[in-house]
Amino acid sequence: MYMLARRTGCAAGGAPERTFYIMALSSTIGKDRERERNRRMDLSTERKWTRADALWIALLTLAAALTAFWDLGSRAAPQTYWKPASAGEGFIADLGTVRQVDRVNLYEGPGARGKTKIEWSADGQNWSLYAEVEHKHNRVFTWKSENISVKARYMRFTTLSAGYTLYEAAFFTAGQTAPLAVANVTEIRPPAAGASGRVRNVFDEQQFAPYRPDYRNSMYFDEIYHGRTAYEFLQRMEPYENTHPPLGKVLLQPGIQWFGMTPFGWRFMAAIGGTLMIPLMYAAAKGMFGRTRYAALAAFLLLAEGFRLVHSRITNVDIFGVSFTIIMYYAMFRYGEASWRHGFGRGLGWLALSGLAFGCAAAVKWNYLYGGAGLAVLFFAALLRHFRAARTEGLRKAWQKTAVTLLCAVVFFVAVPVSVYAASYIPFVKATQADDGINVRDLWQYQKNMYRYHSGVSEEHPYSSKWYTWPLMLRPVWYYGGQDLAPGEAQSIVAIGNPLIWWGGLAALLASWWLGWRMRDRAVLTIAVMYLSFYIPWAVAPRDITFLYHYFPMVPLLILSIVWIVRRQEELHGRWRRLYALTAAGAGVLFIWFYPVLTGMTISREWVNLALRWLPSWSF
């Protein structure tokens, strides 16, 4: 290298500065690579778990559980319903005397089609129109209000077209939180139809009827798809939503089974998934960086990440998909670290885990399939590295081990994911009342339907955003906005990330690519390849309407990049140890700062406008 420097200097007219620069750069790169080789030798020892690891995991997981489950939603909701079979069916609710009716709240279930005419009368003879309700999918398991003030004793509901289920109706006087008592209910049936006797179900759970609908008692955003479909799987009903594979909805089912079709029940498993992401991230960082302090930092940053919290508190399947992606690329990283001399069988075990997690992620949403390209790059790079090391060390049967590994990879990354994906459709097929099991032709048709749907999505949405705006978080998605608030108050749930993690993580990601390439750092290789494999396909994806939450799989990779930079700076410069505390403190402060709009707290509108809306494109 010294001779190369001398020649370079002579070729440049003997410029000593250039000679010195090349020598210094070569020395730095050499030291970086030597440091990385020494770290790999010590990593297996550092990965051993201690009591400190158990304590950190317990504390951070408890914190995640508290933030996920606190004020998650009501544990009670109407469970009985009335479902008209044809037009003309209905009922008359008698309030006993003329009352002031300012609001009618309706709580509906699956069906989501049809129309109802609501009329009012003071004497039971003369009727006037109160409202005509069109039943749509966005009314499912959601309290919807009709706000018209009348003085009425009787309220008449008449089905104009059937196809909906009405779980509960309630009448309110403005300013009173308790619904008006219903003295009697008279059923209306067409002459040819017999009495069903179920209209009383509309008023049998009045204690669950709120005056003010909000996220605590109703579905919001995509819950009307995912939570509803999970319920329909359990009830063996024709699923309304089939635009994503079924596994995510299957994972939501236990909460509904245990706690009923209530807000707490349909969000329970998402909260569990978001909580378990913390120990999962801890384990991945511990395996990649070795030391407890870096695993704790990674888990804490994920705890302080707004996207994780928001998706832990909504019936959304992305929390499961992102968790599976962490498992799949961490397991692939560990395969790359498992040398054939000391762990050929162990390496295959990590491959099997990676393939299984990949199959589960793909069975949640198709966009997690993009990570498969990154896994392939990492796998073949690791396989080539293992083969060369085996030949260099004189290990026998290097070719045979390569062949076995390739055969196992076909099983783990083709057969296993396909099997998991197909098996995830069993609840879907049962719900559609197919009696011959999974039909391959039908299964393939489902996939074509999904592709046509996503490639054809073109409806404008006020909170959609293009892929190139995601890293800068230019357009957070406003999931929920409260109604019936006092003047000057605001209540929102916004899918917005922690600015330190998103913006600082982007800087750390790009810096780690340069530094990690010089060091031949395999952790950085894993992070870079997986980030690009998740992100780049969106540039050419056929779907026109996309949202910031499609960037969610990249967020854990931003966190790992931050931790990598912190570790490197601490190793090079002892005074940089303050960076660890500053990073954790900054993320924690910003988490608390944005916490109200992550969880739907009621706060001052002025505070939202002045302190929380940092960019003009942040609208909530």
Q: In terms of domains, do 7 and 106 share one?
A: no
pLDDT tens column, 558-595: 999 999 999 999 888 776 778 999 999 999 999 999 99
Domain end, chosen from 158, 191, 208, is at 208
Q: Counting beta carbons within 10 angstroms of the beta carbon of residue 129, is it exposed (0 to 12), middle (13 to 18) or buried (19 or more)?
A: exposed
Has residue 507 been placed in a domain? Answer: no
Residues comprising the chain, all counted: 620
Asked if 165 and 83 count as a contact pair (C-beta separation under 8 A), the reply is: yes
Q: In the prediction, which pLDDT does 443 show?
A: 78
Q: What angle do CA 83, 86, 87 make, to 5 degrees?
A: 115
User: Average of pLDDT values for 311-330?
Assistant: 97
- Write the Ramachandran bin of 76: left for phi over 0, alpha for psi from -120 to 50, otherwise beta: beta
Instruction: Report residue 176 as tokens.
Output: 């009173």
Q: In terms of domains, do 100 and 183 share one?
A: yes
Q: In terms of domains, do 28 and 102 share one?
A: no
Q: In the prediction, which pLDDT does 533 show?
A: 97
pLDDT tens column, 44-55: 666 788 999 999
pLDDT tens column, 410-435: 999 999 999 999 999 988 888 876 55
Q: In terms of domains, do 94 and 172 share one?
A: yes
Instruction: Report residue 245 as tokens.
Output: 């594979």
According to DSSP, residue 467 is labeled G
Q: Counting beta carbons within 10 angstroms of the beta carbon of residue 387, is it exposed (0 to 12), middle (13 to 18) or buried (19 or more)?
A: middle
Count of domains forming the chain: 3
Domain end, chosen from 387, 405, 424, is at 424
Has residue 44 been placed in a domain? Answer: no
Q: In terms of domains, do 322 and 395 share one?
A: yes
Has residue 298 been placed in a domain? Answer: no
Has residue 265 been placed in a domain? Answer: no
pLDDT of 10 over the 90 cut? no
Provide the pLDDT confidence category of residue 13 given band limits of 50, 70 and 90. Answer: very low
Provide the pLDDT confidence category of residue 12 given band limits of 50, 70 and 90. Answer: very low
Q: In the prediction, which pLDDT does 32 show?
A: 54
Average pLDDT, the chain: 90
Q: In terms of domains, do 16 and 98 share one?
A: no
Has residue 151 been placed in a domain? Answer: yes
Q: Which domain holds residue 11?
A: 2-36
Q: What angle do CA 485, 491, 493 make, to 5 degrees?
A: 150
pLDDT tens column, 361-374: 999 999 999 999 99
Angle between helical axes of 292-303 and 577-599 (0-180°, round to 10): 20
Q: In the prediction, which pLDDT does 4 show?
A: 38
Asked if 557 and 371 count as a contact pair (C-beta separation under 8 A), the reply is: no
Residue 372 has, within 13 A of its CA and on its CB side, a CA count of: 21
Has residue 414 been placed in a domain? Answer: yes
Task: List Cα–Cα distances, 136 to 118, 162, 282, in angstroms.
Answer: 16, 12, 43
Has residue 415 been placed in a domain? Answer: yes
Has residue 534 been placed in a domain? Answer: no
Which CATH number does the domain housing residue 170 bear? Answer: 2.60.120.260
Asked if 379 and 373 count as a contact pair (C-beta separation under 8 A), the reply is: no
Q: Which residues contact 394 (CB under 8 A, 6 or more apart)?
A: none
Question: Quick count: other Cβ atoms within 10 Å of Cβ 611?
Answer: 13
- Which of 185-194, 434-443, 472-481 is the least confident region? 434-443
